[in-house]
Amino acid sequence: MAADYAYVLFFLIIGALFVVFNIDILSRLIRPSKPNPTKLSTYECGEDPIGGPWLRIHVRYYLFALVFIIFAVETVFLFPWAIVYRSLGLFAFVEMMIFIVILLIGLAYAWATGALEWV
Amino acid sequence: MIGGVLESLYGLFGEWWIIPRLIEMFVVVSIIIGFISVAAMFLIWWERKISAHIQVRFGPMRVGGWHGWAQSIADGIKLLLKEDIIPARADRPIFILAPMVVFASALAAYVVIPFGPGLIVQDLNIGILYIIAISSLAVLGIIMAGWSSNNKYAALGALRSAAQAVSYEIPLIISLLGPLLIVGSLSMTKIVEAQYVPFILVQPLAFLIYFTCAVAETNRLPFDIPEAESELVAGFHVEYSGMRFAIFFMAEYANMFVVCAIATTVFLGGWKGPLLPPVAWFLIKTFFLLFVMMWLRWTLTRTRVDQLMNVAWKVLLPLAFVNLGITGLVMLLYPVG
């Protein structure tokens, strides 16, 4: 079973190596390299950058991330349910509907309290 | 025949069986990388031609002679020759690592794409779950790129991209569950084999939800807020130049192919079709969906960021749940179908 995933590991490694090969070997041999301070400055429409970008981030990103995590975990439960659904029948249907409805109440709550508003 | 040759190779090496195995895997991965490169170059040329013709222009016409077919190759060589600039204020290790993460995750998704019967790198039994999991790794690469560039545009683009990708991932996964209920397996090959009629006829709503989310996941118009050229310049990869930029670009087109290939596999009957060989059918269907994506780009305008989030959470997600519930109910009432 684990041997099935040899390709996954191999693809990930070769994918990273392909990038290294292209940038640090193939391209390095033929490209120019004449850095100067202006060239290496951060791009901001030709101006000198004012302040850094690593600022406080708006809290709405955090709210969406939280809602996402709830539903992402839910989908992990939904996959095995979908696979054995045929053999379990009514029980599986009712069981999962209760689960989904509880989560949908959570979504409705987030909706009602304005967590889904992008302001 | 290939199997026979491999058998004798394995026999030849005895306990060093790992060597022919590695050679075999290397050949496979080379074929896939070759396919991605050619497909990406073709798609870039094709997109430029389609964009041009929709706007009553010609697009690239000169390089290579016939309708500028070699334009992408020329562009690729040009990018290879360009200086590699890493901004002085960038977070260097992460800046270098980001394109690797994006490209490796795009490449790894090809492990389970069924190009034809038996023409699949490895038919993992968790196929579609695997592809969803591995392609969501790309978000990490995008965040890394945006963060490490130390650039305001890049940071904003990466944040928006992450917010959008995670929002659209949920309806995307739940829309795929409808067809999976009917199939009862996650293996990509089994999903195709189970389709006596293409699932788009059985699950039209799921297909619409999936395709909308797929367009959003690949950051394409009308959902290209993360890259919005007119306000964010290019989004997360604004500081990347030369070959590093080319890798991002290639991964983007590779991802477009992946989402369309999933749509083909799950909804359009995969490689099934009359007369033509299976691989041809698979590619025709996938490239047709890619054409639709490019078509959408010039038909719809860019959505605002609040509209974008509203569509994901308040329209697509409830619809996907309704679709899943109805599918479950129908299967309960008519167990044979």
Q: Residues 18-47, chain A: which have Cβ within 8 Å of B?
A: 18-20, 22-23, 26-28, 30-35, 37, 39-44
CA distance, residue B132 to nearest chain A CA (Å): 11
Residues A1-18 have a mean pLDDT of 85
A72:B242 CB<8 A: no
A82:B180 CB<8 A: yes
CA-CA distance, A87 to A97, in Å (whole number)?
A: 17
Among B29, B184, B329, select the one facing A83 at the smallest CB separation: B184
> Helices B127-135 and B242-267 meet at what angle, rounded to 10?
150
B150:A43 CB<8 A: no
pLDDT of residue B34: 93
pLDDT, tens only, B174-205: 999 988 888 888 888 888 888 888 888 888 99
Among B85, B122, B167, select the one facing A39 at the smallest CB separation: B85
pTM for the model: 0.89
- Chain-centre distance for alpha carbon A23: 25
- Chain-centre distance for alpha carbon B23: 27
Amino acid at B282: F
Which candidate, B336, B149, B311, places its Cα nearest to that of B244?
B149
CA-CA distance, A71 to B93, in Å (whole number)?
A: 33
pLDDT of residue A3: 76
Beta bridge partners of B116: B119
A57:B159 CB<8 A: yes
B331:A85 CB<8 A: yes
pLDDT, tens only, B275-310: 888 889 999 999 999 999 999 888 888 888 888 888
Amino acid at B9: L
Contact between residue B213 and residue B206 where contact means Cβ atoms under 8 Å apart: no
Q: What is the ipTM of this complex?
A: 0.86
pLDDT of residue B9: 65
A97:B328 CB<8 A: yes
Confidence band (pLDDT; 50, 70, 90) for A65?
Answer: confident
Say yes or no to pLDDT of B5 above 70. no
pLDDT of residue B2: 59
Among B80, B101, B124, select the one facing A27 at the smallest CB separation: B80
Among A5, A22, A32, select the one facing B247 at the smallest CB separation: A22
Say yes or no to pLDDT of A85 above 80. yes
Say yes or no to pLDDT of B151 above 90. no
pLDDT of residue B1: 47
Structural domain spans, chain B: 18-64+72-333
Beta bridge partners of B119: B116
Which candidate, B130, B119, B288, places its Cα nearest to that of B198?
B288
pLDDT of residue A46: 73
Tokens 């809602």: give the residue: A67
Nearest chain B residue (CA) to A57: B159
pLDDT, tens only, B90-104: 888 999 899 999 999
pLDDT of residue B33: 92
Contact between residue A74 and residue A101 where contact means Cβ atoms under 8 Å apart: no
A75:B173 CB<8 A: yes
Which domains are seen in chain A, by residue range? Answer: 2-112 (1.20.58.1610)
> Helices B204-217 and B152-183 meet at what angle, rounded to 10?
160
Choose, out of A23, A26, A45, A104, the residue to mutate when testing the contact with B (most B CBs < 10 Å). A23
